[in-house]
Structures are given as C-alpha cells and as structure tokens.
C-alpha cells in the first residue's frame, strides 16, 4: 500500500488545502494529513480544534484519508506512518523556493521518502491561512477562501477574541 503524508498547521483549513488533499489522495492508497504545531506561528485554533476541523472537511472525500497530529520532524512522522511520499502544495515562486529547500533537507534526512509538489488550482493560488485570519480579524468576508463550516468556526473565534479595528 502506497502511503503519502500531507503536513501542515491548517489554521484554518482552506479551499486551497482541500484542493491539494483531493488531488493528493488520488496519488496514493492512503493519505495521512499531518496536523502539526509550528513554533514560528501563532495559531488561532488549538491543535485539537484544527484536527476536528480537518476531519470534518475531509469526511466526504471518499478515499482513504486519515488525520493525525504530530510534533516531530516531518521525516520522522513520515517514517512512523510508513509514507514514501510527502505531498506539498505550491502557490507561487516564493513557495517553491522555501519548499525546494525543505525537500532537499528532508531528502538528506531520509532519501527513501520523495516530495511531490502539486500546483494549487489557479483560482486558489492566492489563498493563505494567514491572510484568511487577517481578513476575518478586520471584519472581511472569507467565504471565497474556506468552507461555510470553517467560516463559521473563524467567525466564532473572532467574536471571542474581538475584531480588530472595531
């Protein structure tokens, strides 16, 4: 069985993430979505909340997709899951430079796992979780960027923390 891992913070999960998940699931028999923490990011949602959000969003895909949390090196996680492929989405040249460097470092750590890059759908390329959160915090409409359920989750969180500029 061919297993792939798609890692990310998914804070929140966007339509761009879902595009990569749907297409990545077609490349492998089993796709493990690795929800992780990133010390350089300040998440809007706790790990458990993000995991539940991702599980809800991928429930209708139909392929074998699992949602697992991890707090380790990506290559250690990939090995633990039996993955031979890391799936990464690319939006722009800036993404490529960062992802190319990460793929090279990951290959040095474990050359039995390959990184596969999928270009985001053209209509979804500008979407970034960081920007979705910023738009929401300033009262903007994020409906184009996330599912209705995620938009409701974000709206509730913004209400809890207080909207900027209000």
Would you say residue 112 lies in a domain? yes
Residue 161 lies in a domain: no
- Judge whether 42 counts as a catalytic residue: no
pLDDT for res 7 = 97
Catalytic residue (choose from 15, 50, 88, 91): 91
Give the separation between CA 19 and CA 16, rounded to whole angstroms.
5
Q: pLDDT class for 93, splitting at 50, 70, 90?
A: confident
Confidence of residue 164 (pLDDT cuts 50, 70, 90): low
Check 50, 88, 129, 133 and give the catalytic one.
129
Domain that holds residue 44: 3-121
Annotated active-site residue 17? The verdict is yes
pLDDT category of residue 153 using cuts at 50, 70 and 90: very high
SS3 state at 31? strand
Q: What are phi and psi of 156, to 5 degrees?
A: -60, -40
pTM recorded for the entire structure: 0.91
Q: Tell me which of 17, 50, 88, 133 is the catalytic residue.
A: 17
Asked, for residue 126, whether it belongs to a domain, the answer is no
Q: Is 72 a catalytic residue?
A: no
**40-83 confidence digits (pLDDT tens):** 778 999 999 999 999 999 998 877 999 999 999 999 999 999 99
């Amino acid at each position: 069985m061919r297993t792939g891992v798609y890692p990310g913070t998914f804070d929140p999960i966007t339509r761009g993430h879902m595009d990569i998940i749907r297409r990545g699931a077609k490349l492998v028999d089993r796709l493990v979505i690795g929800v992780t923490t990133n010390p350089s990011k300040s998440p809007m949602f706790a790990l458990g909340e993000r995991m539940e959000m991702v599980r809800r969003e991928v429930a209708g895909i139909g392929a074998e997709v699992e949602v697992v949390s991890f707090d380790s090196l990506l290559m250690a996680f990939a090995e633990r899951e039996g993955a031979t492929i890391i799936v990464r989405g690319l939006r722009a040249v800036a993404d490529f430079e960062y992802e190319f460097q990460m793929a090279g470092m990951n290959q040095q750590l474990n050359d039995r796992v390959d990184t596969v890059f999928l270009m985001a759908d053209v209509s979804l390329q500008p979407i970034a979780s960081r920007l979705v959160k910023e738009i929401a915090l300033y009262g903007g409409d994020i409906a184009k960027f996330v599912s209705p359920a995620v938009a409701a989750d974000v709206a509730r969180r913004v209400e809890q923390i207080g909207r900027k500029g209000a």
